[in-house]
A and B are shown apart, each in its own frame.
Chain A
């Protein structure tokens, strides 16, 4: 048997394709990673600390895995889909009923898309909490924020393509929000729609954005993102206990392991697990397809996809120019600016400062913010205020608990930027949950267990 393998692998043809030997020596393992087009983004060996699953939950890698699945399934779907009205809708029906495994491909594409949005958002949160944006990695964080925007835009442009009622009216809400931008609103809206209102021009425009422009942009962005990680010596690792390094990026006498097989094995397991989970989802849950888009019949309520429902919920409180344009832009700018203002990098626990003045300042801030969010909107913005109070109470608890381990220590030692970011995360989740489950016709408040789901 081994003679057969030898014969296969020592002839000229094989050697012209595979330029390394069997990877049972470090040299061959190095060559395998280093000289392979697809793998050379990896370092040849990496620090062992970087392998730990609990450090990053592999969220970035899983996001890329989702992206790869989306590109593959998206390309397969492109063989059957025509971006014209009404053929787009009819082609969705044909994919569902005629194309062999068509429904599976479509389901996989949709659930991978939703997973990617969630994973990218979680990746951003964990990166913040890990402080992985510490200089000199600031701009990579900004690229990450842009990649998040790109992911959401990919989802948004893809959403129109089935051309059903859900698609049409969700895009109506989104383009109207964009059109609320001061001064440039009409121009932006026309740029998005390609016409005065949603129609064939919009569909072909969104199709090109979704299949060519945005995947290329996000693909290049991912490449750039990984490139910078490599140039910064791998993923961010905090300084080891007892060392005096400022960033943990300096070369140190740390244990390392070869990329092949150890890192690649972990990536393989994660990738297969991701594909398995999404495939099971694709088998068990069908992506919805409503009636064909009808400009004359607005569903009530007309809801965006879930990742925009938080934003749509915000529209309930302030003008579109504020909720739909100003607040999201400010949020993105604030996110991007985090590394440049060294937010949270010194990890100063909140309760390091004297207790009473800090408590006073804390609750004065809570009171001020409550007043702002109670009065400034059309209705009191409970989705912002209630998390504010809850987090304020938890923060205050940190001043009193004495425990040395576990939750008590965690609460006591967290810094102010940590709490603020957590507050932001909780708001996003609460707004999304309220918008998804608790809003019914006329955007009225409903209890889903009583009125059913308006999705």
Chain B
């Protein structure tokens, strides 16, 4: 080839460059050939060849090697899991093989539902790491085997959950009576809970025989627990156990789940699919996954959320694991209603509750997280003072039903107690009534009058108790004042015999500040009765005594001295709850206020001002009346606001 000879310029390196071009081109072709190799030599191809090799030994049908997928456009499902997991609807299972064994029996066909709606993971991926979600940016990774039932929550968001105690009792009865002897095979009850337990199942049973075997009836009180147990049989025992544990852990008191619950903590409706952004893993010892974080959170909330108001629940590892499964089942289902399962339709469409309606269950669902399992109160990390023990008998003696209902419905502004009265997100009136009824159960029963009156009299005890409990309103010698009537007056019929005194002590007097003292034991009650009987005659007479309100102007000064430290200078709250809010003032009568101030709130920092001690001055009845008048002055002028003050006696 004739080249133009360069004339004194830089050399042309023709041959060298031609060789370089040749070499580089070869390298490029080799590199480009590697690219299809990466697409061809894939993990799933090896898996399918292994299946075909296994199946060839048994002369079964091999699969065509290629990507297999479940494609359901109307649900947005594109799941390529069957590419490796061939037994999920593509090919015949091979028993005993870890990958090719049959899918466990479920009421669903994987070919019609897909895989990822239940299992999570990235359906479109064809590599194991990406499909199972073990990559950095993957949210909603594959559920671990132990948590696999949480996937049911993707659609079954409102499974009816009975109380754990009832279900456990039902299970025991179920085993004792040996229902399974007949209910096996075709009559299996494994998913009776999904189909719905007929309400009259017991009655229908009694009319049946199988061969010559008939059934004995169950006792009346055994039918409900067995019904509860049967309703938990949905084919997902761990999920139901988790839901029952959650239903007695008080989660919904602070967290809204599927639209029901308080707003103190975050809404947990989609928490099971929560993206990992923003999660702090410093204190998580296990794998840095969402289940790992949830478990660490349950064991010690403040270790993973530094400013959390959530109390430590004192859970065992196993309970934390169960609750983790529960939270993972909260997957924010979004399918249209016509694709929803019956429980979701009942929950969302008919607005039926997925928790039981009795007071004890409701208490477990909403209240125990803060108020304790027996209403004993608790110490929350972000509150200066304790959560009040609403199960305390003396508190319940002071609080009327209306006050309890209003407190539940309107909450406590400025504190963590939400307003549960909204029927959309909270409790219905019947449910609030059930809760109040349950709380009332914490009060002591009225003692038998004979049992009390047969106790020996302890005079010293009686004098001490009188000073602690009665003198605060009735005066040191029961002489009476503007708040309470004279006890020892000769014309006071109530105090002339033991029985009426005992009756007043155990039941209180309606529409007055005299609330019951039922919480005292028999000996104390007997001593008090004797002390009241032995009171000297007072200056004023009983007839013609009326209750008179205090002077609000004087109450203002008293409030500043005694109350403002905790309740705020303007009653707006601080260490103590806010008093200056419409809900409180509308539901707390003057009598309630009087009794609260005199008797305090046991278990909280609200002292018994009627008694006084080394730290606190004692407030005299007139002062208490002034305070009540002052506080009442905050109420908007409404007929309800003046419930007890102006009522003549």
Contacts and interface: CB of A to CB of B under 8 A. Distances in A.
B111 to A, nearest CB: 19
B12 interface: yes
B306 interface: no
Give the dominant DSSP class at B's interface: loop
Contacts of B130: 97
A26 to B, nearest CB: 7
A276 B277 CA distance: 38
A300 B280 CA distance: 13
Contacts of B137: 164-165, 288-291
Contacts of A282: 35
21 contacts: A24-B1, A25-B2, A49-B10, A51-B10, A97-B124, A97-B126, A97-B130, A98-B67, A101-B35, A101-B39, A104-B35, A165-B137, A255-B7, A256-B4, A262-B14, A265-B14, A265-B18, A269-B24, A276-B31, A280-B31, A289-B137
B17 interface: yes
B308 to A, nearest CB: 19
Interface string B545-581: 0000000000000000000000000000000000000
A266 B122 CA distance: 47
A209 interface: no
Contacts of B139: 291
Interface in A291-309: 291, 294, 297, 299-300
Contacts of A289: 137
Secondary structure class of chain A's binding surface, majority of residues: helix
Nearest to B12: A262
Interface residues of A, number: 49
A370 B18 CA distance: 54
Contact of A299 (B67, B78, B126, B277): B277
B278 interface: yes
Interface in A352-368: none
A254 interface: yes
Given A51-B12, A254-B9, A255-B6, 8 more contacts: A48-B10, A101-B36, A103-B38, A104-B39, A261-B14, A262-B12, A272-B28, A276-B28
A137 interface: no
Closest 6 CB pairs of A and B: A255-B9, A48-B9, A104-B35, A290-B137, A93-B124, A97-B126
A172 interface: no
Contacts of A266: 17
A217 interface: no
Contacts of B3: 258
B444 interface: no
Interface string A72-105: 0000000000000000001001101110111110
Nearest to B19: A269
Contact of A24 (B2, B6, B40, B127): B2
Interface string A45-83: 101110110000000000000000000000000000000
B34 interface: yes
Interface residues of B, number: 42
Given A273-B24, A283-B31, A265 B36 contact: no
A49 B31 contact: no
A442 B80 CA distance: 38
A276 B10 contact: no
A269 B21 contact: yes
A440 to B, nearest CB: 13
A291 B124 contact: no
Contacts of A52: 10
Contacts of B648: none
A257 interface: yes
Given A265-B14, A265-B21, A300-B277, A26 B36 contact: no
B6 A276 contact: no
Contacts of A49: 9-10
Contacts, number: 109
A268 interface: yes
A155 interface: no
B200 to A, nearest CB: 48
Interface string B217-259: 0000000000000000000000000000000000000000000
Contacts of A279: 28, 31-32, 35
Interface string A8-29: 0000000000000000111000
Contacts of A24: 1-2
B20 interface: yes
A261 B2 CA distance: 11
A275 interface: yes
B138 interface: yes
B266 interface: no
Contacts of B14: 261-262, 265
Interface string B15-31: 00110110011011001
Interface in B110-129: 122, 124-127
Given A94-B124, A255-B9, A257-B6, A265 B39 contact: no
Given A26-B4, A266-B17, A283-B34, A102 B10 contact: no
Interface in B504-550: none
Interface string B482-514: 000000000000000000000000000000000
A407 to B, nearest CB: 25
Contacts of B35: 101, 104, 279, 282-283
A97 B80 contact: yes
Interface in B270-319: 275, 277-278
B8 interface: yes
Contact of B21 (A97, A164, A268): A268
A290 B25 CA distance: 35
Interface string A98-118: 101111100000000000000
A94 B80 CA distance: 11
B3 to A, nearest CB: 8
A291 B138 contact: yes
Contacts of A283: 31, 34-35, 38
B246 to A, nearest CB: 25
Nearest to A298: B277
Contact of B277 (A101, A288, A297): A297
Most-contacted residue by chain A among B12, B27, B125, B278 (CB, 10 A): B12
A93 B6 contact: no
A94 B25 CA distance: 31
A276 to B, nearest CB: 5
Contacts of A273: 24
Interface string A241-280: 0000000000000111110011001101100110110011
A265 B17 contact: yes
Contact of A103 (B20, B39, B78, B138): B39
Contacts of A257: 4, 6, 9, 12
A79 B387 CA distance: 63
Contacts of A164: 137
A259 to B, nearest CB: 11
Contacts of B80: 97-98
B6 A48 contact: yes
Nearest to A280: B31
A394 B139 CA distance: 51
Contact of A255 (B8, B20, B38): B8
A93 B80 CA distance: 12
B7 A97 contact: no
Interface string A154-171: 000000000011000000
Contacts of A261: 14
A131 B82 CA distance: 63
Nearest to B35: A104
Contact of A269 (B20, B36, B124, B277): B20
Interface string B66-81: 0100000000001010
Given A97-B124, A273-B24, A276-B28, A104 B277 contact: no
A100 B275 contact: no
B448 to A, nearest CB: 63
A48 B3 CA distance: 14
A98 B10 CA distance: 51
A96 B126 CA distance: 9
